[in-house]
Structure 1
Amino acid sequence: MSFWEHFWDIFWWFFTALVFFAYLFALFAVIGDIFRDQKLSGWWKAVWIFFLIFFPFLSLLVYLAARGEGMALRSLERARKDQAEANEYIRQAAAASPSDEIAKAKVLLDAGTITAAEFEQIKRKVVL
C-alpha cells in the first residue's frame, strides 16, 4: 500500500474523531444549558433529556435551532455574574484599611514577632 492510501484513511479517522468530539461538546453544552435555565420547568427539562438520550443528533439540532439565542444570552449572563463575583472578591481581599493593617502590626508587636522599629516602619508605610 502506498502512503496516499494510508493518508486518506488517517484523514478520515481524524475527521470522524473531530466530528465526534464536536458533537460531545455541543451535547454537554446543551445539557448544561437545560439545567441552568431557570425559566424551563422540570417537566420540559425531562422531555429534553429524554429526547437527547433516545434521539440525540436530531434533538441537539432542534434544541440549538429553537433555543440557541436564549442559550447564548444565558451563557453571557452567567459570565457577567461570575466576573462580578470575582471582582467583588478581589476588592474585598485587596482592600484592607490602614487601621486594620496597623492593628495587625500591633498584634505582631505585642506577640514579639516584630520589633518597635519595624512596627513604626509599617505604620509609616500604611499611612502614606
Structure 2
Amino acid sequence: MSDYPLLNLFWTMLEFFLWILWFFLLFKVISDLFRDHTIGGWAKAGWLVLVILLPLLGVLLYVIFRGRSMAERDQAQAKQAEERFQQYVRETAGPGSGASHADELKKLADLKASGALSEEEFQKAKEKILA
C-alpha cells in the first residue's frame, strides 16, 4: 500500500499546474508593462512595485484595468511581425530571384509593343533593369 493516495497526487498536480500558470501570467504582465509605450516611467514603476509586493492583487488589478489594451498590444505586435515577414518574403522572392534580366526585358518589349508603355517609360524601365 502507498502512503500517498491518488487524490493527494491529483491535488499536487493541480497545485503544480496552477503555480506554472501563475508564473506565466506574471511574466506576461511584466513583459506587457515594459512593452507599453502609452504610460510613463513612474506609472510603470508603480505597477511593477504593486506586482512585486502584492503579486496576486497586483496581477489581478493589472488584468482588470489594462487587460483590453494588453490584448490590443498583442494583436498589434502580431500584425507587425506578419508585415515584417511579408516584406522579407517580397524582398527575397522579388524580381531577379526567379526571372533573369532577359525575361524582364522581353516583358518590357511586349508592353511597349502593345502600347502599354511609351518610349520614354520603356527606356527608364530598361535602364533600371540593366543598372
Task: Work out whether the TM-score is over 0.5.
Answer: yes
Aligned residue number for residue 36 of structure 1: 35
* AA in 2 matched with 1:93: T
Indicate whether 1:90 and 2:96 are aligned.
no
**Which structure 2 residues correspond to residues 73-112 of structure 1 after superposition, within 5 A?**
73-97=72-96, 101=100
Q: Structure 1 vs Structure 2: percent identity of aligned residues?
A: 30
| Number of the residue aligned with 1:60 | 59
Seen in structure 2, the aligned counterparts of structure 1 residues 26 and 99 have a Cα distance that, compared at 3 Å, is: closer
User: Where in structure 1 do 4 or more consecutive aligned residues deviate above 4 Å?
Assistant: 98-102
Q: How many residues get paired?
A: 105
Q: CA-atom RMSD, angstroms?
A: 2.4
**How many angstroms apart in 2 are the aligned matches of 1:98 and 1:58?**
55
Cα offset, 1:63, TM superposition: 0.4
Partner AA of 1:85 in structure 2: R
SS at match of 2:5: helix
The whole-number CA distance in structure 2 between the counterparts of 1:28 and 1:94 is: 37
Distance 1:99 1:16 in 2: 56
Q: TM-score scaled by structure 2? A: 0.71
Amino acid at match of 1:50: V
Q: State the TM-score, normalized to the length of structure 1.
A: 0.73
